Structure 1
């Protein structure tokens, strides 16, 4: 655990936090006029190792080889020239900051960081970061790496084992009462869709699970397949799941929420990581979270609360996020998805 302090006066800016994986969609807005929740869970932070935030440069302004050096192999609209190493955390965990009113500008219904820092150290007033909560952007706090320093605050939280994670209830249910996936789950599924298409490498994919087929089957049709490529089967693998009756080529496996590492697959099976909340909803659609009675975990206790909601609508796959992720896949790893036109946004409700 660690907290972040002001580099100017050494005052604490945050509560103690634990580091987790950076969401790949942290910089991607969702829809138009959508009110999004906090991106990060309380008590956690992530570090973006790449440049982010203003200023920005258009693709045409980049020097030869500069985009490839930064991991982009297909054109995108623009790249950031901001500082690398910005720290992402949830609003409310920045307990030692105050809003810079003159810098609190936005586009519609809130504030963004498009005009520079809008958060300052509450003790000395030195600018330290950005608060964002405008419509269509995630509610976040970004601390600037040169304005803060990290201070140890005790041992790291223990890493939960996989069996325990099956029974830990989600802070936000993956599916709401109306049967709609929440926005974070939809963004995670967009990330998994790209990983699945790259792993398939132009082969048609046959999903063993009907729920998985309902989520990803139609979206996979947007990626070209070779007529001579043998079909690859995809199963659900993970803790608490029985082994497949056959040996699939692909497997959707849960991603650990703390470490970001996927569930290990057997030799010969290519694992495709999927957000734990989505994976658990698919793998155990009727399972409810266990309850603790006198410190003993009792998963078999009778429950009288309503059953978990079941998703009834399609998934909104974010075409801009998918385009950005595909642009970062080296050409030698994606001969099959290279035919997806970079200016074509075929994704949406699937």
Structure 2
């Protein structure tokens, strides 16, 4: 683990690293080429030339003994509840950016954020794909705390009690995010885990075509839903009442099912490429980030109607890869791929 001021990496160094990574990912004209667009996140091998093999951490994470996760917790977002129906589209009031890139002695690649969560303390927890780490941003003291992970993280969710679950391919890794952060127990799964979310003491994960339910300790209980073709599921979210489950599919769009596993609706937009991560606002609307299109879309609670674009391609962010809606301040946190910055948009 290491704690460093995130402003210490030179901006020219950051921009250079970003250009190298984006070039290696065959990015052309603001969008990835067709060959890369058909690849899955599971195909991005950290052993490739895109990622340095020498980590060079200032302090290596010491994995402490397994801790019990027997306590049950209710989603903190669900506790905050809805504040009536919002039929208009959120718009941007202000934009803030926070540098999350650490020096090359710690971060061996440009940051690629695949998950984020805002704590009640105001700290932001993130998973950094290429740097194989958990990061905690303290915006007040301008510091980033880093906890090494044993493999590349595809996503994360907060499960209460200062604990997050991180998807590492065929493993769920738990971590205590208080203080300097430390790894806890891990659980092997018989399927690949990518996006994940937490609701009512259950962890829901997705692989390419299916939704799985795990208990609070990570043990798989059952497969809830399977799509009959290559959907390439990426992200998942659950309505506050637990009645609807929303799934972001690279190949299809937004898939909505009920909590019994019945398909309700599929929303597709031929103009948009590859929805990736989801978050819900305090009115039950679904917010979806589209990395290839550089937008965040707002969809109605029933998953049937696009209400409009909150973040547009003209808002100067690239590859929005993860997002979290803060119900206390009506703002969204956006983590990007190949960026040294984390963005917070105040909405109105």
Normalization by structure 1: what TM-score?
Answer: 0.22
Structure 2 length as normaliser, TM-score?
0.22
Name whichever structure is richer in strand by fraction.
2
More helix by share: 1
Q: Higher Cα Rg: structure 1 or 2? A: 1
